[in-house]
Amino acid sequence: MKDGRPVNLDISTMKLPITAWASISHRVSGILTIPIFALFLWALQLSLESKESFQILQENFSAPLAKVFIILVLTVYSYHLLAGIKHLIMDLGYGETFEGGVIGAKLLFACTGISFILISWWLW
Amino acid sequence: MNVTVFNRSGISDWILQRASSVIMLAYSLTVASAVIPDTSYEAWSVFMTQTWMRGFSTLALLAMIAHSWIGVWAVLTDYVTVRMLGSLGERLRLFLLVLMGILLLVYLLWGVFIIWGFI
């Protein structure tokens, strides 16, 4: 790692293909999912502690701003899951060409859009 | 520098990252399929406190911790490096990894307490 060879790769000067955006956002959503797990654990605790705490949780989640927040959180999580499924499919050898990657990335973004709509429809 | 609990080799990381992802995917779908049709407290608590579900939750918790660790390790070794940040890179990465280790340990204990009803 410290071999001192120059690295001539400035990503900020490049126009990134859709596949790169899918890859970067998979990473970003993964990092975001770590604090999201604290939220999940907190919600799980309140939901199981008692009927009263369950109701407190439901009240917390019924405010419009809280709903928007939860919808966004679940969308980020579902994006990470969907991107992971795409990754596993590619591990199996499907869509490994650049063209395949582009189709996969488009499908991923489309599926995330659908999951956003479904999550919003369910929670609102 | 190879500071991790899990990855003695890249292959074990590769497999663990995928196995844990499949476990969490299955778990997420299981929880969703229970909570979407019935959001009442009674149904939820009965479902979650079944012994097999407690076991599945514990497995998913362990998968989440392994998956998070490997993921964070991969991201940090790409961006928080000597090349990106100079000599600070190495120390900062170690610091962030330790911080992540502590956080994941808290998640583990917290999660086990919730799942098995100690809280």
Which residue in B1, B21, B114 is closest to A84 by CB distance? B21
Give B-chain residues touching A47 at CB under 8 angstroms: 41, 44-45, 48
pTM of the model: 0.89
**Which residues of B lie closer than 8 Å to A, measured between beta carbons?**
1, 18, 21-22, 24-25, 28, 36, 41, 44-45, 48-49, 64, 68, 71-72, 75, 81-83, 100, 103, 107, 110-111, 114, 117, 119
Residue type, A38: A
- A124 and chain B in contact, CB less than 8 A: no
| Structural domain range at position B107 | 10-115
Question: Is residue B4, in this structure, part of any structural domain at all?
Answer: no
Question: CA nearest B109: which of A40, A43, A41?
Answer: A41
How many CA atoms within 13 Å lie on the side-chain side of B80? 15
Question: Is residue B2, in this structure, part of any structural domain at all?
Answer: no
Average pLDDT, whole number, for chain B?
A: 91
Residue A10 is predicted with a pLDDT of: 74
d(CA B51, CA B61): 15
Q: What is the DSSP string of A72-113?
A: HHHHHHHHHHHHHHHHHHHHTTSS-SHHHHHHHHHHHHHHHH
Q: Which two tokens stand for residue B93?
A: 């990465």
- A28 and chain B in contact, CB less than 8 A: no
What is the tens place of the pLDDT at every residue in A52-92?
999 999 999 999 999 999 999 999 999 999 999 999 999 99
Residue percentage of chain B with pLDDT more than 90: 71
Which residue in A33, A48, A91 is closest to B114 by CB distance? A48
For domain A18-123, say whether CATH 3.20.20.150 is its number.
no
Confidence bin at B86 (pLDDT 50/70/90): confident
